[in-house]
Amino acid sequence: MSAAVATGTGSWVIPGRTAHAAEPIRVGIATDLTGAIGFAGNSDLNVAKMCADIINKGGGLLGRPVQLYVEDTASNEAVAVGNVRKLIQRDHVDVVLGGITSSMRNAIKGTIVSRGHTLYIYPQLYEGQECEEYIYCTGPTPAQQCDDLIPWLITHGGKRFALPSANYIWPHLLNAYARKSVEKHGGEVIFEEYYPLDQIDYGATVNRIMSDKVDVVFNTVIPPGVGPFFKQLYEAGFLKRGGRLCCVYYDENDLNINASHEIEGLASCLDYFRAVDALDPASARIQQMYDGMFAGNKYLMAAGSAATGMYRGMMLWAAAVKEAGRLDRDAVAHALDHAKIAEGPGGPAEMVPGKRHCRMRMYIATAKNGQFQIEAKSNGLVDPQEC
């Protein structure tokens, strides 16, 4: 790993190490290194460093090394905008990757794309509907997370769904898609209810789930509420009577929130799980490289942290730069519009031309004794169905 050089409060430059003497290509990474979702942002930065390393070892891009310019968005939109402006105005980066929450994406995209005339790649799974020009989304959308999962849940759980949710944009839009899919496949939504983001007592909800004989809890309650909620469900006997938990952002990081028996059988649907390594040698190789580079580091390459979207974003952008043969925004955007990568965590990926979203392979996994186990793999690449 290259040494990082601090260039101001919350700013770092990670120089590319190659034999070239040429001026490096500047890649901006704006992610939440501190604050509430710092665990995810640090994973994203790790993956970006790994990708820069892969690119530079392969000779760089256009005969030039890649250099990362890192800004901390600090899980705080107000801080983020100022820091991202530094990437654009001071560092003149050629592309910005990052942002994890949708509120962060909305806060920084104007600075990058419209005022900054720079490409922006957003790596996190999200609610969809980001269709602005020059913004490319490399994480899964509701269609990708639900299309295979909902029929699977009806077969392996039952027809009566409850949709308990945190009250913000992602659960609202994901639920709208999930509800349609549930009804299309012969299931039924018993209730869809929204809670304050910091609610941590779910007695009333659990009671409703138990007395209304719900089969599948399709959960979009987020931490800190999700842990106590699953615990209360377990204590009320939901799993004992054969109920199925489902939570589509759950990855290896989230398995520690509860004791393993409290979430036994919880289903998730993401573009990568560690268990995929047994099915896909390329994924195993990337995971091994990550573990080697960041040995002893507590940040996992987990799909729910946007780490896999970051990998796809970096590599699709690199492929686009190679094809374009230059760095100006329109040329790279034109190539990125149909860029493909043959391998990545979870499998190959490709941009859907004209849609600025990414086709990828999706996996359904369930929690078994504190580990995810793959239950199903999509047939080929799943379409994001956006824009």
Site for another protein contains 304 (CB under 8 A): no
Dihedral (Cα; 234, 144, 55, 102), 10-degree rounding: -70
Stretch that binds another protein, among 77-85, 194-202, 267-275, 379-387 (CB under 8 A): 194-202
B/e letters for 218-239, b = 16+ CB within 10 Å, e = fewer, are: bbbbbbebbbbbbbbbbebebb
Least Cβ distance, residue 73 to another protein (angstroms): 14
Least Cβ distance, residue 369 to another protein (angstroms): 14
Site for another protein contains 31 (CB under 8 A): no
Site for another protein contains 292 (CB under 8 A): no
The site string for another protein over 39-78 (x = CB under 8 A, - otherwise) reads: x--x------------------------------------
Site for another protein contains 175 (CB under 8 A): no
Site for another protein contains 317 (CB under 8 A): no
Site for another protein contains 205 (CB under 8 A): yes
Contacts of 278 (CB under 8 A, 6+ apart): 284, 374
- In order, the DSSP letters of 288-347 are HHHHHHTTT-S----GGGTHHHHHHHHHHHHHHHHHHSS--HHHHHHHHTT-EES--TTS
Stretch that binds another protein, among 115-123, 188-196, 316-324, 339-347 (CB under 8 A): 188-196
Residue 66 or 307: the one with the smaller Cβ distance to another protein is: 307
Site for another protein contains 265 (CB under 8 A): no
Number of residues this chain uses to bind another protein (CB under 8 A): 37
Stretch that binds another protein, among 2-10, 204-212, 309-317, 350-358 (CB under 8 A): 204-212
Euclidean distance between CA atoms 120 and 105, whole angstroms: 10
The site string for another protein over 322-361 (x = CB under 8 A, - otherwise) reads: ----------------------------------------
How many other CB atoms are there within 10 angstroms of residue 333's CB atom?
18
Least Cβ distance, residue 237 to another protein (angstroms): 5
Residue 194 or 348: the one with the smaller Cβ distance to another protein is: 194
Nearest to 247 by CA among 223, 218, 275: 218
Per-residue tokens: 46: 């790790």
Residue 103 or 385: the one with the smaller Cβ distance to another protein is: 103
Euclidean distance between CA atoms 34 and 288, whole angstroms: 26
Euclidean distance between CA atoms 216 and 381, whole angstroms: 26
Amino acid at position 258, single letter: N
Euclidean distance between CA atoms 173 and 127, whole angstroms: 6
Say if residue 9 is exposed, middle or buried (CB neighbours under 10 Å; 0-12, 13-18, 19+): exposed
Site for another protein contains 307 (CB under 8 A): no
Residue 237 or 325: the one with the smaller Cβ distance to another protein is: 237
Residue 199 or 385: the one with the smaller Cβ distance to another protein is: 199
Nearest to 52 by CA among 75, 69, 36, 40: 69
Residue 89 to residues 83, 84, 92, 113, Cα–Cα distance (Å): 10, 9, 6, 12
Nearest to 139 by CA among 344, 297, 291: 344
Residue 71 to residues 123, 293, 315, 353, 359, Cα–Cα distance (Å): 16, 21, 20, 30, 28
Site for another protein contains 29 (CB under 8 A): no
Least Cβ distance, residue 230 to another protein (angstroms): 10
Which of 154, 209, 236, 286 forms a contact with another protein (CB under 8 A)? 236
Residue 133 or 198: the one with the smaller Cβ distance to another protein is: 198
Residue ranges that bind another protein, judged by CB under 8 A? 34, 36-39, 42, 167, 193-196, 198-201, 203-205, 207, 211, 223-224, 227-228, 231-232, 235-237, 253-254, 256-259, 298-299
